[in-house]
Structure 1
Amino acid sequence: MSRPSDGAREPITKAIDLITALISHGGKPVGVRELAAQTDMAPSTVHRLLAVLERRCLVERDDTGRYGIGLELFRWSSRLAGLFNLRETALPWVRGLAHETNETALLGVYNATTQLMMYTASVESSHPLRYVLELEKWRPVYAGASGLAIMAFLPADQQQAIIDRTGLLPVTDRTVTDPEALHRELAKIRRRGYALTSGQNIPGAVGLAAPIFDGRGVVVGDVCLTIPEQRYDATAHEDLTNHLIDCVRDISHSLGAPVKPGVWPPSPVPDADAPA
């Protein structure tokens, strides 16, 4: 299939074509005219788009005026590779947790650039009454156990940035939208090492989630059990929590986190404490 003409393509499509062309050269710097011929665009169009991408550090120009992949694009690729590695590492333990509890277990991953999370894996309960959540969809971290278990272990300045950026817009009528109340809840989660919410993210669902840490001791995601309120049994809370913490401790240990046997959560990230 032939490539659409220069004028027929949207600017975002042209930019993607340019980045794809740069990647195809394996990191070797490429000139504007060569890129124009490869992407079937006018040199003036290529030059204009490269200037925009360079300002965003997605491409960079060397002393000869040729272009290569920028550090920001490299950072994106490294971050995404880390997320996929986390999924592959964590999935066996997530399956084990779902089997032990017979509740739906979800693996959440956090993206520090967007300050959002997504579910990348779900292992469902065998109960006929259960929740099935959409995977690979960006979600806020201030609403529901699955987000709060991550947000609670972020440094205070990052927590505040999330509050300022989002305004804590409600996801449901139970979402905590008062910053002071949210700070108190985050402090409670840090102390006990897990989050427990009801209906904050999904109406009628109880969420029980605990964080995952990487080799730097930085929170990179979490595991969440989601249970319909009608079926949630408070007397089973301790058993569910123990299974959940065992799961995230094992995952974190496999990622090289400084996790000590019988200790949860690990030592907090410096400056993690926010106002209570």
Structure 2
Amino acid sequence: MLPILYQDDHVVVIHKPAGLLVHRSELDRHETRFAVQLLRDQLGRHVHPAHRLDRGTSGVLVFALNKDGARHLGGQFERQEVSKTYLAVVRGHPAEQGRIDHALTRRRDDAEWVGSRSTDEAQDAITDFRRLATCELPHAVDRYPTSRYALVELTPRTGRRHQIRRHLKHIAHPIIGDATFGKGRHNRLFQELFGCQRMLLACARMQLVHPVNGQPLDLFAPLDGDFARVADALGWQAALPSAFFTSLYAGAT
């Protein structure tokens, strides 16, 4: 069963687990489990995803329960009217806060994929970040005798594909567990130390407008599973806003 964060007659919001595709993908033809299919079977009715999360990203995922609602919600995302807050564990100690303003070449959607995943077309992309906590582990991974990591809160101001992951790589603070844009040696260290088998990126909060009554929706997905265990092991609970760790181990397996 997918954890439901909010539901009414028009909208349903789930806490998507890491590793689950939102919908069928040309790039993962062998996969048989998708959030759309699982939620449809769980509710016994059609559902329409209003946006997407990368397969490795967990957190708030919004669906409409009819096509009109899907158009309304999708329009909010397209017009960048939705506020999104992500949490990530990254390599190194980034600045206390900052803005990454770095254009990104366009990466095709799965439906557009015809053999090349990107084009030379650059799109404006902006991500704000705030460092919440840091640690230094007594393990030599790169050329230093210890390894540094940080918990970061991120707010994307644009909606480019893989934006947060690519932006953090751009500033040399890639996300732990990111097999595409991260560093394998650091990913393996977290696997060995914490049994962490996922990318440590989560959509922890989303703020948007209800497609029918116009009321604001403020949606939270507290950390769970491997992400929660890493945050606990590194003593980072106190650095998290209360809504992000109130149910720290909810849904953990």
Query: What is the TM-score normalised by the length of structure 2?
Result: 0.30
Q: Compare relative contact order (CA 8 Å, sep 6+) and give the higher one, 1 or 2.
A: 2
Larger radius of gyration: 1
Query: What is the TM-score normalised by the length of structure 1?
Result: 0.28
